[in-house]
Structure 1
Amino acid sequence: MRKRLTVAAAFGLSLLLAAPVSASGSHPGADGLGDPYYPTLGNGGYRVSHYDVRLKYQPATDELEGTTTILATATEDLSRFNLDFALKVTEVRVDGRLAAFATSGDQELEVTPARPLAKGSSATVVVRYRDVPSTVQKYGGYTAWRRTPDGAVVAGEPVSAGWWFPSNDHPSDKATFDVSVLVPDGTQVISNGVLAGTGSRAGWTRYDWRENKPQATYLATLAIGKFDVTRGTTASGVPVYNAYSKDLGENAAAARASVERTGELVDWLSGYFGAYPFSSVGGYVPNVRTGGGLETQTRVCYGPGLFARGSNTSVVVHELAHQWYGDSVSLSRWSDIWLNEGFAQYAQFLWSEHENEGTAQELADYVYASYPADDPFWSVRPGDPGEENQLADAVYERGALAVQALRNAVGDETFFRILKGWPTERRYGNATIPEFRAYAERVSGRDLGELLNTWLFTPGKPAVGPVPNAAGAAAVPPAEPKSWKEIRAADAVHADRR
C-alpha cells in the first residue's frame, strides 16, 4: 500500500494514565492501545470478535444511516469503554440496555454501560448513527469517505473505519465481519469477503457481504456506485470478484488488463507463500481522484491513477502479496510496517524474475547503486521508520533489499521455506519484526541479528550491497532492469498520499 493519510500531527504524543478505580473494582478502559506511532488508535479493556454493520445510504445526498453490532469480550473490569468513531451517534445499547455516551478527541466514543462489564464477560454493543460522512473531517481536515459521481468509497490507512462503523480501530484486534448495505435500485455495493446475497424491495436493494476470517479494521472497505462486475475462479478454485466503475474513462482498459489477472497471480503467489488464506479474492477500481492502492482484505482497492501509464501487473502482485503479508499475518504495531511493505515489494522482484525482466538480485543491486551514501534515503530505518516515514520509499525499497540480503545469507532453499512457512505458521494472527527474526533463525539455524539490524535498524548505507561484492557496490552502476520502470511507476503513483 502506498496511499497514506497524514494524521500524525492530529494524534500527537499522548500518555495513557492509569484510570481511577471505582469501589466495585471496575474502571474506565484506556482511550488508546499505546501504539508507538498512533497512541490513541484502538482502545483498552476489551477485544472484538465480530462486527455486524447494517447501513442505508442515499448517494444523491450522501446521507448514511447505520446500526453496528459489536461482539466483544472484556479483558478487565470496565465501568466505561471507548470505541473509535467519527460520525454522529443517536443511541448506544450494551447487552440490550441503553448506555450513556459522550464524544471526545477526533474519534473517541465513550460508552458507559448501565452495568459494569466484568473481566472475561461477553458483551453485545449496538450503536445507531446518522450523518453525512463526506462532511466529517478529523485529524486536521482529513476525511476517509470520498464521494464519487454515483456513490462513495472508503478505504484508507491507518484510519478509515471511523467514517462508516464504530470499532476498536487498531490492527492488533482483528474480527470477522458482516456488512449489509441498502441502496437505491440500480446502485451496487462492494465490500470484503463473499457476496452472501442480495434482495430488492420498494425501490431499494440490499447487498450482504461476509468476511469469515479475522480482519483488521483498516482493511475493511466499502464502495457504492455503478460497476461493471466480472466473476471467475482461480485455478485452485478460489472465487474471484472484480469491479470497475462504469465511468473510468481512459484508464478503464489498462485497469482491466491488470486487475483481471488477479486469479492467475494468486495462484502464482501461492507457490511462494502457501495456500491463499481467504475465501475469495478480487479488486475494484472506483472513479476517484487518486493514484493510491490499498490491500483491503480479499478486495483490493486500486486508484485509477495506478493505470494512467498503462497496464501494471506489478502493482497487482504487490497488493495481492499483502493478502498473506499484512492481511492474514498483520502487524502488531505500526512500527512493524516492514513486515507488510518489504515483502510486498519483494514479491514484485520475484514477479520480475518470473517474467525474465530482471532478477531479484539485479533489482537489489540497481536500487542499492541508485542512492548515494549521503542520500536521505539511507537515513530511514525500515524496521522502525517513524510515523513521518512510515510509507517512505526506503520502507519499500530498502525493505526489499533486506529481504534479498536474507535470501543471500541463508540460501534459496532455506529462504523460500521461510517465505512460505511464516504466513502459514502465523495465519490469521499478528506479528512483530523480532518474532519474524526468531522464526527465520529457527528455520535457518543462523543468528540473523547483525544482518537484520544492519538493513532494518541502522541509518546509513551498508558497506556492501545485499550480497558481498554485489554489482551495486561497483563504481559503475548496473544496468537498469527492464521491470524497474513498471515497479517504479507504481511507486511514484503510490507517493500520491492524498
Structure 2
Amino acid sequence: MRSRTRTGFGAVAAGLATVLLSTTASAAPAPGSAGVGDPYYPGAGNGGYDVAHYDIRLTYQPDTDRLAGTTTILATTTQELSSFNLDFGLDVRSVRVNNAPARFATDPADPSELVVTPARPLARGQFLAVVVTYADTPSQVEIGGVTAWKKTPDGALAVDEPQISEWWFPANDHPTDKATYDVSVEVPDDVAALSNGTLVRTSKQRAGWTRWNWRSTEPQATYLTLLAVGRFEVLRSTTPSGQPFVTAYDPALGPSLPAAKASIERTPEVVKALEEFFGPYPFEAQGGVASTGLGFALENQTRSVYGRGFFRAGTNMSVVAHENAHQWFGDSVSVGSWRDIWLNEGFASYAEFLWSEHVGEGTADELAEYLYNSYPADDAFWRVPPGDPGAENQFHVAVYDRGAMAVHALREAVGDEAFFRILRTWLETKKGGHGTIPEFVALAERLSGVDLDGLIRTWLYTPAKPAVSPNGHGAEVAAARAPRTERGALVEPKSYRQIRATHELLHAPHGH
C-alpha cells in the first residue's frame, strides 16, 4: 500500500505561501489554515472558506477497486486567500478554481493535505467553484497508518468515523462545516450504489453500467456522507409520514439476513417513537444498509449502516434505536469538536433506554441502576471520563454506558418536564449546526433553573465511580434497590443484554 502519513502541515506549503505573499505582508492574502484546531484531530478540516455544497460524480469498478471522477465544491471564502487546503488522499489529475486552472501540491509531511493555489488571490467573501478531477485505488491508500476505505468481495464501503471522505472525495473534513450533497455514482449493472438522502433516479449511459443519483438537501457532515457499493438487495417504499424509505441488504449476511430485515425495516416505527421525545425528524428520507463489510454501525445521515454482528443473535432494535437517535444527536446537531462526543454517544445510548421503556422491556430507571451496579468501583471503566475521553478512548464503552447514565442523572436532577424541554430546545435551536458540552449545560441550567456543575463534573469529568447512582441513590442504597433474585444475583432488565452487546460492538475499533 502507498502509505500516507498524517503528521502536520509541512515546509512545502509554507514555501508556497512565501512565494505568493506580496512584500506588503500586513495587507497580503494569506494561506488558509491546514486544520480547524480540533483538540483531538488538529489537522482535521481547513480554514479560510465555508462549503455550501458538494457535487460528487464518480465511476467505480468493484473488480479493480478503481475510483475515478470529479467533485465540484461550492464555497465562500471567509478571509483573503493566497492558497487553501482540501482534505484528500487520492491522486489528483487537475484542479480548477472559478474556471481557471489552479496549481496544486500534496504536502509531503501530510499527504492527505492537498494545497490549492488559485491563479490569482481570492478576496474575502468571494464565491468559489472548485473542481477536482481524480482517479485512484482507495484500498491502497493509507493515511496515518490506516485505510478507512473498506473493500468487499463485490464492492466497497466508504463508512467510518471520524474521517472517511479523504478516501473518496476532497472536502473540508470537520463536522463544523456541513453542506448539502449530490452524489452520482456509476457502477456495473449487477451492483447497487447507495448514498444519503433521496434516490433521485437511476440511469444508463452505456451498456453494462448504471448511474445512481442521490441528493441530500439538509446540512450534512463529511464523515456522515455514505458510499456503499455491492450486490445489495435494495428495497424502496414510503414511510407512513410520506418520506422515501430505502434499505439495502447484503445477501452474504446469510442466517443473519432475516433478523437484519426484521430490525431495520422497523426504522420508521422507531423514528416515530423517538419524535415523541426529541421533536420532528430532521431529515427528508429514512433507511439503512446491512453489510458484512464492517464490524460496527454508523449513523450515516438518513441511512445508517449496520455490520452483521448486530444480528447474529436475532433482531436488534437497540442498535436501530441508537443509530436513528443519532439522526438528531450527531447528525442534525453535530459536535463542535470531537471532544464533545458525549453529545453524540451518550444521548444515542440513552435513546436505547427510552426505546426499552417504550416497548416494556425495562424502564430507564432499571437500566441505569443495573448498569451502575454492573461495574465495580475499581473497574477501569470508571477511569474514562465521557466528557473528555481523549482521542484514544473516543469510542470506549464508557462513553456509551457511563454517557447514558450521565444523561439519566441529568433527567433525575431536573425532572421529566424540564429534561425533555431541554432536549427539544437544544435540537430545535441547533438544527443543521453544531454544539459543545458547555453550551448544552448552559441551556439545561437556564431551562431547568438547576445548578448542574456538580452533577456534570461528577458524571462527565471525574475518573472514578460516582458515589451516587444515576437515580440519585447512594451506592449502598442503589445496590440494595437493584432488582435481585432470591440468591442475591442482579436481575437483568429484558433489554439489558442486547444493549450491552450493542455497545460492545459500537465501541469496536473504527478505521481511525
Fold match (TM-score > 0.5): yes
Aligned to 1:4: none
- Which is further off, 391-400 or 209-218? 391-400
* Maintained 8 Å contact 1:465/1:472: no
1:338/1:64 CA distance change after superposition, 3 Å:
same
1:156/1:200 CA distance change after superposition, 3 Å:
same
1:112 counterpart (107, 111, 117): 117
Per-residue displacement from partner, 1:4-39 (whole Å, max 9, x unpaired)?
xxxxx9656889999765435101111111100000
1:310/1:482 CA distance change after superposition, 3 Å:
same
Per-residue displacement from partner, 1:228-273 (whole Å, max 9, x unpaired)?
1222333322221111123321211111111011111111111111
* Maintained 8 Å contact 1:226/1:245: yes
Secondary structure of 1:294's match?
coil
1:378 counterpart (379, 382, 385): 382
Per-residue displacement from partner, 1:171-229 (whole Å, max 9, x unpaired)?
11000000011112232110000001111132221111000100000000101122212
1:46 counterpart (45, 49, 53): 49
Aligned to 1:68: 71
Aligned to 1:235: 240
For residues 300-319 of structure 1, the aligned pairs below 5 Å read: 300-319=304-323
Per-residue displacement from partner, 1:340-364 (whole Å, max 9, x unpaired)?
0000000001111112221111111
Q: Which runs of 5+ in 1 are unaligned?
A: 1-8
Which letter maps to 2:223?
Y
2:497 counterpart (482, 485, 492): 485
* Maintained 8 Å contact 2:92/2:134: yes
* Maintained 8 Å contact 1:239/1:280: yes
Aligned to 2:351: 347
Per-residue displacement from partner, 1:271-315 (whole Å, max 9, x unpaired)?
111111000011011231x32000000010111121112210110
Partner Cα separation in structure 1 for residue 478 and residue 317 of structure 2: 31
Secondary structure of 2:386's match?
coil
Which letter maps to 1:492?
E
Secondary structure of 2:252's match?
coil
Which letter maps to 2:501?
A
Per-residue displacement from partner, 1:438-486 (whole Å, max 9, x unpaired)?
1111211222222112111122111111133267754555432111101
1:11/1:388 CA distance change after superposition, 3 Å:
farther
Secondary structure of 1:250's match?
helix
Aligned to 1:96: 99
Aligned to 2:487: none
Aligned to 1:219: 224
1:72/1:360 CA distance change after superposition, 3 Å:
same
1:126 counterpart (131, 141, 161): 131
* Maintained 8 Å contact 2:409/2:472: no
Per-residue displacement from partner, 1:375-415 (whole Å, max 9, x unpaired)?
21111111111111111111111111111111111111111
Secondary structure of 1:453's match?
helix
Aligned to 2:87: 84
* Maintained 8 Å contact 1:106/1:139: no
1:492/1:232 CA distance change after superposition, 3 Å:
same
Secondary structure of 2:274's match?
helix
**Number of corresponding residues:** 489
Which letter maps to 1:96?
N
Secondary structure of 2:368's match?
helix
Partner Cα separation in structure 1 for residue 475 and residue 238 of structure 2: 42
For residues 242-281 of structure 1, the aligned pairs below 5 Å read: 242-281=247-286
Aligned to 2:409: 405
1:452/1:14 CA distance change after superposition, 3 Å:
farther
* Maintained 8 Å contact 1:153/1:222: yes
* Maintained 8 Å contact 1:27/1:79: yes
Aligned to 2:142: 137
Q: Which runs of 5+ in 2 are unaligned?
A: 484-490
For residues 381-392 of structure 1, the aligned pairs below 5 Å read: 381-392=385-396
* Maintained 8 Å contact 1:41/1:169: yes
* Maintained 8 Å contact 2:467/2:475: no
Partner Cα separation in structure 1 for residue 380 and residue 263 of structure 2: 33
Q: Percent identical across equivalent pairs? A: 57
Partner Cα separation in structure 2 for residue 13 and residue 138 of structure 1: 12
1:367/1:10 CA distance change after superposition, 3 Å:
farther
- Which is further off, 143-152 or 45-54? 143-152
Give the TM-score, by structure 1 length. 0.94
* Maintained 8 Å contact 1:464/1:473: no
Partner Cα separation in structure 1 for residue 131 and residue 144 of structure 2: 26
Aligned to 2:471: 467
Corresponding position: 1:395 with 2:399: yes
